[in-house]
Amino acid sequence: MSETLTPDVCVVGAGSAGLVVAAGAAQLGLDVVLIERALMGGDCLNHGCVPSKALIAAARMAQAQRLGGPFGVAPVEPQVDFATVMDHVATTIAAIAPNDSVERFVGLGVRVLKEEARFIGRTELQAGPHRIRSRRIVLATGSRPAVPPIPGLADVPYLTNETLFANHTLPDHFIVIGGGPIGLEMAQAHRRLGARVTVLEAVDFLPKDDPELAGIVVARLRAEGVDLRAPARIVEVARAAGGVAVTLDTGERLHGTHLLVAAGRTPTIERLDLEKGGVAFTTRGITVDDRLRTSNLHVWAIGDCNGLYAFTHMAGYEASLFIRRALFRAPARLDPSIVPWATYTDPELAHVGLSERAAREKHGDAVRVLRWRFGENDRAQAERETDGLVKVVVGRRGRILGASIAAPHAGELIQPWCLAISRRLSISALAGFVPPYPTLGEANKRAAGSYFTGALFGSRTRRLVRLLARLPLW
């Protein structure tokens, strides 16, 4: 039977962004309806962050068996049971899934509708037999893999991140289209698990990251045997015996058993009937202001569907802004400059704030660049993980503008710089803290401390210290 619901907040999409809003609003005592047509937890839990990191962890265990020689541990080629590896991935998803389940959210007081939603008015949605009227509608419908218009691609079996983790057969030759974070993470993981891997990138690898640090990651993947090609122009994809054939503009024809398309994301908004809701959008996503409001002031768009940054932590940040702004009426506005990102290759690559190029364009000659290599870090030497770099961009009066790290655990090591940028700290804050020894995190302090090296050990300071040395002790 048709039913009309009038919640305080209606959330469309049960991925990272939508779940944070639904849980927060419900726990604040509001009446909340959450609409999800597919899997609770969205892309991150089911097809993205969680399964990919579980696969990467398995690949790291395999690689460790190959690298024991310098430590006096006989290296061996690992025996990989790929089906069991993928069982590990599924088990990881299952362990986390209860946090995002219908049962948990119903327990919080949320009404969950397993339906597809579409606008039928500025403040009205239809979801199956349910009509929902709400003064606050939050769109959090996420994104899906973009499929490039390559001739023949639609006619061959190919994988995306939405289908990759259902594959239980180790590829013989794994061809990846796309050299961004997803493409390189999965390329390295499959290579370490025993597959031959070729990555085809139209422009350059990790194009959004600092080229100096991206080069460290690319060099490691090549050293491990990943065939990286950029720029590579694909003219045709076709079926072939045992898999697919990819033809390049050079005339070379590559044969692969499995093909992964990792060529970016596109917002999932086409079935919302946004026009009927008066919600403006483009091919990049739903148009929002710095309060995440759309052209319809009753509607907010958060997470991947607004086309800003397709990161789970960005989705959570935007959800918190909605709660602060729309529910508490606090003056909260989006600040993209404080949002980091990380690529979970080995070494990892992490970044926050302005890149060196962006900083120089904005601040000119006031910019200083600080570097500290992990070859100068004692813990990195002990673990033979010296291929890494901390790179920090500093402006006037030592204000931290941006930081990038290529190193093991860079996603963890970037966090002090995230705090520094979000609180607009100067470089002295990072130079003055005391890290435990020996840790990789010491590299952050050493990079920050290098800002003062010239002044501290310069001729003026040396003259001052000689003068002070003549004074009586006190």
Give start-end residues of each CATH 3.50.50.60 domain in the chain: 3-144+266-336, 153-264
Question: What is the pLDDT, as a whole number, of residue 280?
Answer: 98
Phi-psi region of 39 (alpha: psi -120 to 50; beta: other; left: phi over 0): beta
Distance CA 39, CA 36 (A): 7
Confidence of residue 1 (pLDDT cuts 50, 70, 90): low
In this structure, are residues 260 and 167 in contact, taking their beta carbons and an 8 Å threshold?
Answer: no
In this structure, are residues 161 and 185 in contact, taking their beta carbons and an 8 Å threshold?
Answer: no
Give start-end residues of each CATH 3.30.390.30 domain in the chain: 347-456
In this structure, are residues 402 and 359 in contact, taking their beta carbons and an 8 Å threshold?
Answer: yes
Distance CA 287, CA 295 (A): 7
**Whole-number Cα distances in Å, 232 to 77, 171, 205:** 32, 22, 11
Tens digit of each residue's pLDDT (9 = 90 or more) over 92-138: 999 999 999 999 999 999 999 999 999 999 999 999 999 999 999 99
Tens digit of each residue's pLDDT (9 = 90 or more) over 362-373: 999 999 999 999
Distance CA 309, CA 303 (A): 8
**Whole-number Cα distances in Å, 181 to 285, 341, 362:** 21, 10, 27
Question: What is the pLDDT, as a whole number, of residue 13?
Answer: 98
Question: What is the pLDDT, as a whole number, of residue 463?
Answer: 81
In this structure, are residues 340 and 350 in contact, taking their beta carbons and an 8 Å threshold?
Answer: yes
Q: Is the pTM of this model over 0.85?
A: yes
Confidence of residue 459 (pLDDT cuts 50, 70, 90): confident
347-456 fold: Enolase-like; domain 1 (3.30.390)
Residue 189 main-chain phi, psi, to 5 deg: -60, -45
Tens digit of each residue's pLDDT (9 = 90 or more) over 264-278: 999 999 999 999 999
Question: What is the pLDDT, as a whole number, of residue 229?
Answer: 97
Tokens describing residue 208? 């959004």
Q: Which CATH architecture has domain 153-264?
A: 3-Layer(bba) Sandwich (3.50)
Whether 461 has a pLDDT exceeding 80, the answer reads: no
Q: What single string gives the DSSP state of each residue in 193-239?
A: TT-EEEEE-SS-SSTTS-HHHHHHHHHHHHHTT-EEESS--EEEEEE
Q: Which CATH architecture has domain 3-144+266-336?
A: 3-Layer(bba) Sandwich (3.50)
Tens digit of each residue's pLDDT (9 = 90 or more) over 66-97: 999 999 999 999 999 999 999 999 999 999 99
Distance CA 57, CA 89 (A): 10
